[in-house]
Amino acid sequence: NKRVILKRHVTGFPTEDDMELVTATARLAVPPGSAAVMVKNLYLSCDPYMRRRMTKHQEPSYPEFVLGEVITTFGVSKVVESGHPDFKAGDLVWGMTACEEYTLITKPASIFKINHPELPLSYYAGVLGMPGLTAFSGFFNVTKPKKGDYVFVSAASGAVGQLVGQLAKITGCYVVGSAGSDEKVNLLKTKFGFDDAFNYKKEHDLNTALKRCFQQGIDIYFDNVGDEMLDAALLNMRLHGQVAVCGMISQYNLERPEGVRNLACVITKRIRIEGFRVIEYFGTYRKFEEEMVGHLKEGNITYMEDVAEGIEKVPAALIGLFYGRNIGKQLVAVA
Ligand code: NDP
């Protein structure tokens, strides 16, 4: 059973050397009488929050990975053996698994049966999995979008961002996205239907870029990056604007968080800022799944993935998120 372990705690940007591919020889099996489920992993998800679990730190909401042990992650898997009445050999599932070929899932409450195997299975690590639920619940529950709203999304071509933009278009909003390359900006405008987009790395001043894109100001900012982009967005919010703080990827490799200077705009413009975590919404998964499957089948939503082949690619794929190497949802196909 090949697996990727965390070799040492990470400070600064992660490197491939922080992780190691090892082969475990012990035979995996469901212990007699247990309700565990053994799965063969098909797709593994690379997500920015995993970096937060690589630090030796005291953040209770992101418990650190255990040194020398396999790195856990979301994935799409096939059940090989089951001690749990809800699962049987051959079932396709998605949920919490680990960066290895086979995983013994001791808490089957963290996996869901795949209801629509007619769609690409990899979708259950992206648009129909955790990132999809994040985009959907963040956009519709944390902010309250309505037709005609001016919406801004950062890291807009990524796993979450590309969906927020498309959901905003379906709602009848005007949507602008930021991304870190011209290729991504082009995708936002041509493939994902954003009204406008800009390459934040080429902008001299983010405030000016947002003023150019939003002459009337921003009603909703879906923040995936934090720091300078959040600061510039605050300056450009409209009265009673709403900010959903989904993620702050610009901060995850820093030892000390960097500041937001324009926070007083929250008062003067009566802006509502709310952070959220997708774990709060897993109870709504089936409802989300049916709605998103409908959008996918009707062609209202398209989803772009970046698939690396082979378990040995996990470290590079994960690290690539922090350099913007992924174009779309980063996955690793394992089997
Ligand atoms: P993406 O697929 O968007 O990949 C990460 C992208 O972030 C990169 O491709 C890069 O795109 C951009 N990026 C990297 N470093 C920086 C930086 N310093 N400044 C600005 N942009 C940067 O990831 P996801 O869609 O999976 O995640 C997006 C955000 O959502 C993350 O912050 C993540 O932590 C958060 N999240 C939060 C959840 C929650 O429960 N609240 C759940 C899931 C995700 P580019 O080339 O455009 O710079």
Q: DSSP for 271-311?
A: -EEEE--GGGGGGGHHHHHHHHHHHHHHTS----EEEEESG
Closest residue CA from atom 10 of ligand 1: 324
| Inter-residue contact 34 to 83 (CB < 8 Å) | yes
Per-residue pLDDT tens listing for the chain (335 residues): 999 999 999 999 999 999 999 999 888 899 999 999 999 999 999 999 999 999 987 778 899 999 999 999 999 999 999 999 999 999 999 999 999 999 999 999 999 999 999 999 999 999 999 999 999 999 999 999 999 999 999 999 999 999 999 999 999 999 999 999 999 999 999 999 999 999 999 999 999 999 999 999 999 999 999 999 999 999 999 999 999 999 999 999 998 888 899 999 999 999 999 999 999 999 999 999 999 999 999 999 999 999 999 999 999 999 999 999 999 999 999 99
Is position 150 within any domain?
A: yes
Residues 36 and 152 in one domain: no
Whether the CB of 126 sits within 6 Å of ligand 1: no
- Å from CA of 118 to ligand 1 middle: 29
Whether the CB of 62 sits within 6 Å of ligand 1: no
In ligand 1, the atom with minimum distance to the C-alpha of 245 is 41
- Å from CA of 161 to ligand 1 middle: 8
Residues 188 and 315 in one domain: no
Is position 287 within any domain?
A: no
Residues 144 and 53 in one domain: no
Residues 28 and 140 in one domain: no
Is position 210 within any domain?
A: yes
Is position 290 within any domain?
A: no
Query: Any idea what the CATH number is for the domain that residue 51 is in?
Result: 3.90.180.10
Residues 32 and 139 in one domain: no
Whether the CB of 322 sits within 6 Å of ligand 1: yes
Q: In 3D, which of 173, 282, 289 has the Cα closest to residue 238? A: 173
Residues 45 and 121 in one domain: yes
Whether the CB of 82 sits within 6 Å of ligand 1: no
For the chain, the straight-line distance linking the first and the last C-alpha, in angstroms and rounded, comes to 12
Is position 164 within any domain?
A: yes
Question: Domain containing 52: what range?
Answer: 2-126+304-333
Q: What is the ipTM of this complex?
A: 0.99
Name the domain count of the chain. 2
Whether the CB of 276 sits within 6 Å of ligand 1: yes
The model's pLDDT over 55-110, given as tens digits with 9 standing for 90+, comes to: 987 778 899 999 999 999 999 999 999 999 999 999 999 999 999 999 999 999 99
Whether the CB of 328 sits within 6 Å of ligand 1: no
